[in-house]
Amino acid sequence: MKTEEREAGDTDDLRYEAGHDYAPDAGWGMERISVARGGAFTYRQSFREVVAGTVRGDIGAERASALFAALARRSFPSVPAHQLPPGGSMVRVSIGALHTGWVDRYFVAELDGFGDAIAALDEVVGDARRAAASGPPV
């Protein structure tokens, strides 16, 4: 299968998980998005482990490339040790077998590269969330 034809979900995709299925302060529940280098993405939102919405789309190769490049500016997946607060502010970023583990979104937002990537991923997730709310799951 050609790279541009594949769907998000392949092993070298950027995967972002934010929130929590059960945390009362996670207003959007658990959100997961997988973005392919070509821009295809798959988004899934769940509450208490029940899928509330799923969307597939494409953010374009340029926007996807900017996400990967932002993480490359930082020695991904290395994150300095920090306190992990309870609740919905936890995020995990993965590319293939490399992952950050669960980290505090507000801590990593201050790190060069991660901050840009988290902000851009949150924007994509917000767009996908609105699309999931406006139509049937795919």
pLDDT in tens, 20-44: 888 887 788 899 999 999 999 999 9
Select from 11, 41, 16 the least CA-distant residue to 91: 16
Q: Percentage of the chain surpassing pLDDT 70?
A: 90
pLDDT digit string (tens) for 6-25?
444 557 899 999 888 888 87
Among 81, 130, 131, 136, CA closest to 108: 81
Higher pLDDT, 120 or 6: 120
> 38, exposed or middle or buried, with CB in 10 Å at 0-12, 13-18, 19+?
buried
Domain segments of the chain: what residues? 3-134
